[in-house]
Amino acid sequence: MKNLIKKVDAGSIAEEVGIEVNDVLISINGTPIDDIIDYKFLAVDEEVLLEIEKPDGEIWEYEIEKEYGEDLGLEFQGGIMDKAKSCSNKCMFCFIDQLPKGMRNTLYFKDDDSRLSFLQGNFVTLTNMKDEDIDRIIRYKISPINISVHTTNPELRVKMLKNRFAGAIMERLKKLRDAEIEMHAQVVCIPNVNNGEELRKTVTDLYELHPYVKNVAVVPIGITKFRENLPKVDTFTQESAKNEIMMIQDLQNKFIKETGAPFVRLSDEFYITAGLDVPKEEFYSEYEQLEDGVGMIRYYREVINRTLEFLDKDAKGSFSMVTGELAYDEIKRSADLIMDYNPNIKIDVYKVINNFFGNTITVAGLLTGTDIIDQLKGKINSEYLIMSSNMFRKGYELAPAEMVMLDDLNIHDIEKALNVKVVVCDYTGDDLIDVINANCKED
């Protein structure tokens, strides 16, 4: 049931006034509640009038006085109190279209919902939004919003997204800019499609909307072996990745002179493919594009360098770390640093090839339990196997028994198959030293 209350926080305002689980929220201050955005923005006022339907159908009203912005303490069934809006595009680079059959149903759902962009950082294309949806973003000042742009060329965007409404991107971005909505833009870059001069034009167009378009992240297309009936596309080579870096560097230098920041940044995969080191830490500012793989290696490297001194020098232990091809050298480097600092700690680093999706997929976050087990069985001699949280569906948000990988194998499956205790570390390495200290013994 829509707007069904599934939890009332203990000690909260809602509990105090008598709102209960299985009550249904109808309106706030006379405005009907359609979804979580209505609730969050209407419930911030100091005085709110809640209309609640009880399980027996009786309607109650609750007058509440509180501090501005103070949370009422309600959680709703379904999170957003409504079904997530599905994507109406058929993008030529869509990863979901490249999944094999037989995986869990939730993996095949494509969301394109501005509410999830605001709440969880998901990216939206704006193609399935009506004018009233844009107006609501503006009315509620929903900001920041993450937008998958890919290109500002109208004809090319229609072609890439296979959606006849996709060409109006600049018109909608300008409307959001005029309303002072902060935006973060993403470009999935495909060789011979939207790279090179097309990418230069896209970045230049978006820069005209700065500072409301705060930054642009450019990531290379990811291709699995399951592309039957999908457009043929190329991937970046060492030479083409280097060319892209050099082209973007010219723009970055210009933007740094004008604003103090590069505005557009390429994901780490470009640099690794090109055989170049990633930029220095100051280039990434506050690392606001980590989820796009932008600055992840630099951040990880700096975190290890800063936290190494907290490693227990009297500790003794044995660990294995598993990663994909892309980050292997960096993970191996950090393991060597740790072992140099404390020789009583032994760390083996294993590179797992992605046979499940195909060896063109090299990131750790898309590894499966099947490949890890197949490639590491009989090899691990350590007491613990350290795995990155981004290999799992929701990282630390789920209990260990529920931490599920893309192929539905969980931590216990891996522990049983490899005869090792699995410990989960944040994918940025923030807690790696803590994890090692916690699972070592005093020498």
The confidence band for 430, taking pLDDT boundaries of 50, 70 and 90, is very high
- What pLDDT sits at residue 173? 96
CA 87 to CA 408: how far, in whole Å? 24
Q: To 10 degrees, the CA torsion angle through 128, 133, 135, 137?
A: -100
User: Two tokens at 394?
Assistant: 């929701």
* DSSP bridge pairs for 421: 384
Q: Which of 364, 346, 361 is nearest to 426 (CA)?
A: 364
The confidence band for 136, taking pLDDT boundaries of 50, 70 and 90, is confident
Token pair 């931590």 in the structure block, residue: 411
pLDDT over 70 percentage in the chain: 91
- What pLDDT sits at residue 96? 79
Kindly list the structural domains of the chain, giving each domain's residue range(s) and its CATH number in brackets, ordered by start: 5-76 (2.30.42.10), 96-293 (3.80.30.10), 301-442 (3.40.50)
Q: pLDDT: is 41 or 192 the higher one?
A: 192
Please state which of the ranges 109-118, 128-137, 275-284, 403-412 shows the lowest mean pLDDT.
109-118
Q: pLDDT: is 405 or 85 the higher one?
A: 405
CA 427 to CA 388: how far, in whole Å? 5
Q: What is the pLDDT of residues 300-324, one digit of tens each?
A: 999 999 999 999 999 999 999 999 9
How many residues does the structure list for the chain? 443
Q: What is the pLDDT of residues 176-232, one digit of tens each?
A: 999 999 999 999 999 999 999 999 999 999 999 999 999 999 999 999 999 888 889
Does residue 395 surpass a pLDDT of 60? no
The confidence band for 252, taking pLDDT boundaries of 50, 70 and 90, is very high
Q: pLDDT: is 358 or 104 the higher one?
A: 358
- What pLDDT sits at residue 147? 93
CA 334 to CA 132: how far, in whole Å? 50
Q: What is the pLDDT of residues 323-352, one digit of tens each?
A: 999 999 999 999 999 999 999 999 999 999
Please report the DSSP string for 38-90 in residue order.
HHHHHTTSSEEEEEEE-TTS-EEEEEEE--TT----EEETTSSSSPPPBP---
